[in-house]
Amino acid sequence: MATAIVISSVADVCRAARRAARGLAQIDTARKNAALSQIAQALIERTDEILAANALDMQSGREAGLGDALLDRLALDETRIAQIAGAVRDIVALPDPVGEVLEGRRLPNGLDIRRVRVPLGVIAVVYEARPNVTIDATALCVKSGNAIVLRGSTTAAHSNAALAQIAAQAAVAAGLPEGCIGLVSGGGREELAQLATQSDTLDLIIPRGGEGLKAALQEVATVPVIYAASGNCHIYVDASADLEQAQAIVLNAKTQRPGVCNAAETLLVHEGIAADLLPGLLRALGGAGVLVRADEYVWKLADILSDGGRVGENLDVVMEPATEEDWATEYLAPTLAVGVVDSVEDAIEHISRYGSGHSEAILTRDTAAARAFQLGVDAACVYVNASTRFTDGGEFGMGAEIGNSTQKLHARGPIGLRELCTCKYLVTGDGHVRR
């Protein structure tokens, strides 16, 4: 089998992707789906190879002192690899967006106009310690007819290289153009700057990481960027909320996977139910190993319940007073800022001040409060009586996602197949000239 991917200079990888993109945009759905199916099969067949590479990254991560949440994001096992392959197969089953007619009409002068979806061209995806993004992003780009340039972090260098190599070899074997899946090494700021300025070959960069990555790109990028950045997500429990349901949702949003961008980072509780909800909820959070950063109201309530001991002791939860910085922090860890507000309007104001525009939730049985929250909160995804953890391309029926856009132009929320397309106008005449 020919070598399908070579870790080379940034410019060389991008040029190869540009050449591949011209052919890839013209490949039919059946061949793209066949390539994706071969990628999924190759992942399963070469699981041992992937796990060996991932073990090297995990060992380096532990030696470097990575936290548990980051190690969880980095880790692969047979189940996770099977899930990654399953997500690829899910994308095979989705409609191909390329060629979809968005609108069509005949003008009074007889010209026929159709607006159709077409691939963007070459997309670079810059991401941190999540090897699954290597395959999710690749599958989405292949299905939408785009060539992809992958740039992961050094933390996952071995895992990313193995996954990208396997995917590229399978894609080329299935008849896709050489260079349609490229990988750059994941070096430092200098390499990132080189990638971000490849205006002649790249059509779009999608960074998937924290605010540091976003800031680094903003300093240098000349290529258009869709930021899939931080998720400082909130849950607001309104006065009319079902308390049992609220506890279950908060625990899910915070503890299922605390190291991901759609995990809740701040809990706001209406003062009318704070005394009823918080003791049991704080105890449950403590049992799940969550550190609580509490505002003055919550701190005083826990102090009263502590019966003269350490604050939170009788609730079996570790608590610290919240600072101004806590409200703006995406912890990506088992830490939750908890505060009390006096109305849905107060909750909306707090979210407007500190939120990142990712995912926000209200728990309520009051239709008016729910509607006010939906209209008043400016975020990509706004939930009523559901966990923020659902903000995900797979959960939304998109097969997978490259990230969640917190911007408002072109794409917002999960970035799936359609968000990786642009459009062109196809105009047909019969000797028409403009007069």
pLDDT, tens digit (0-9, with 9 covering 90-100), for 97-143: 999 999 999 999 999 999 999 999 999 999 887 899 999 999 999 99
Query: Do 411 and 405 meet the contact criterion of CB atoms below 8 Å apart?
Result: yes
- Whether 433 is in a domain gets the answer no
CATH number at residue 285: 3.40.309.10
CA 250 to chain centre: 20
pLDDT higher than threshold 50 for residue 18: yes
Q: What is the mean pLDDT of residues 222-251?
A: 94
Half-sphere exposure of 97 toward its Cβ, with a 13 Å CA cutoff?
22
Q: What pLDDT was estimated at residue 184?
A: 93
For all residues of the chain together, what is the average pLDDT? 93
Query: Do 330 and 210 meet the contact criterion of CB atoms below 8 Å apart?
Result: yes
pLDDT higher than threshold 80 for residue 244: yes
- Span of 21-25, 68-72, 87-91, 223-227 with lowest mean pLDDT: 68-72
261 and 220 in one domain?
no
Q: What pLDDT was estimated at residue 4?
A: 46
120 and 194 in one domain?
yes
Q: What pLDDT was estimated at residue 399?
A: 74
Q: What pLDDT was estimated at residue 256?
A: 95
322 and 185 in one domain?
no
pLDDT higher than threshold 60 for residue 5: no
Q: What pLDDT was estimated at residue 306?
A: 82
β-partners of residue 423 are 117
Q: How confident is the model at residue 401 (pLDDT cuts 50, 70, 90)?
A: confident
150 and 30 in one domain?
yes
- Whether 217 is in a domain gets the answer yes
Helix (H) or strand (E) holding 314: none
| DSSP string across 185-215 | ----HHHHHHHHT-TTT-SEEEEES-HHHHH
Q: How confident is the model at residue 374 (pLDDT cuts 50, 70, 90)?
A: very high
- Global confidence as pTM: 0.83
- Whether 362 is in a domain gets the answer yes
Half-sphere exposure of 358 toward its Cβ, with a 13 Å CA cutoff?
29
Q: What pLDDT was estimated at residue 259?
A: 83
Q: What are phi and psi of 262, to 5 degrees?
A: -100, 10
122 and 195 in one domain?
yes
What is the Cα–Cα distance from 400 to 414, expressed in whole angstroms?
Answer: 9
Q: What pLDDT was estimated at residue 400?
A: 76
Q: What pLDDT was estimated at residue 186?
A: 64
- Span of 4-13, 245-254, 380-389 with lowest mean pLDDT: 4-13
Q: Note down the domain range covering 216.
A: 10-228+402-428
Q: What is the mean pLDDT of residues 273-297?
A: 97
- Span of 31-35, 327-331, 405-409 with lowest mean pLDDT: 405-409
- Whether 27 is in a domain gets the answer yes
Q: What pLDDT was estimated at residue 238?
A: 98
Sequence-distant (≥ 6) Cβ neighbours of residue 413 within 8 angstroms:
380, 381, 391, 396, 404, 405
- Whether 117 is in a domain gets the answer yes
What is the Cα–Cα distance from 147 to 256, expressed in whole angstroms?
Answer: 34
220 and 323 in one domain?
no
- Whether 260 is in a domain gets the answer yes
Number of domains in the chain: 2
Q: What are phi and psi of 260, to 5 degrees?
A: -115, 160
160 and 273 in one domain?
no
pLDDT higher than threshold 70 for residue 280: yes
For the chain, what percent of residues have pLDDT higher than 70? 98
161 and 298 in one domain?
no
264 and 221 in one domain?
no
For residue 343, what is the DSSP state?
A: S
262 and 119 in one domain?
no
Q: What is the mean pLDDT of residues 6-23?
A: 89
- Whether 396 is in a domain gets the answer no
Q: What is the mean pLDDT of residues 248-277?
A: 96
pLDDT higher than threshold 70 for residue 59: yes
- Whether 421 is in a domain gets the answer yes
Angle subtended at Cα 193 by Cα 183 and Cα 204, rounded to the nearest 5 degrees: 65
pLDDT higher than threshold 70 for residue 3: no
CATH number at residue 113: 3.40.605.10
pLDDT, tens digit (0-9, with 9 covering 90-100), for 162-200: 999 999 999 999 999 999 999 997 667 888 999 999 999
246 and 224 in one domain?
no
pLDDT higher than threshold 60 for residue 2: no
What is the Cα–Cα distance from 392 to 346, expressed in whole angstroms?
Answer: 28
122 and 85 in one domain?
yes
